[in-house]
Amino acid sequence: MGDRVIFHGRKKPDSFSARLKERATPYLEPYVTAQSNNYVRLLAKAARKKRGKVSFVYGTSVADDNRFASAGLPVMSISPLGGGEHTDSEWVSKSDYLRLINILQGFISEL
């Protein structure tokens, strides 16, 4: 995960500056829970049984999980297939939602 800036269709400038906008709520630190974490391994095992494959990706949103991670708790996010997040056309696959329930049941049974 390197830092990079993409300039779409424009010549890369010789230099640029960036700053964070002041706001009432604090900016939260990014986090990564290691794939070697026992809970991550158990959840991945449960997901493989139901889905056959597991992908580890880095998200870009900020949510309550950032607060938990900053307190030193391991955080994992798993979700059903869907799209249009936070819009009036948001949707979730019912069959994948039901599969997610089975994955979580398998995970819990391994604890």
Q: What whole-number distance in Å separates Cα of residue 66 and Cα of residue 30?
A: 7
Does the pLDDT value for residue 9 go beyond 70? Answer: no
Question: Tokens 């010549």 — which residue?
Answer: 11
Does the pLDDT value for residue 72 go beyond 80? Answer: yes
Q: What is the mean pLDDT of residues 79-93?
A: 92
Q: Which of 12-21, 78-87, 88-97 has the lowest mean pLDDT?
A: 12-21
Per-residue pLDDT tens over the stretch 49-65: 988 888 888 777 677 88
Does the pLDDT value for residue 74 go beyond 60? Answer: yes
Per-residue pLDDT tens over the stretch 20-35: 888 888 778 888 889 9
DSSP 29: P
pLDDT of residue 1: 42
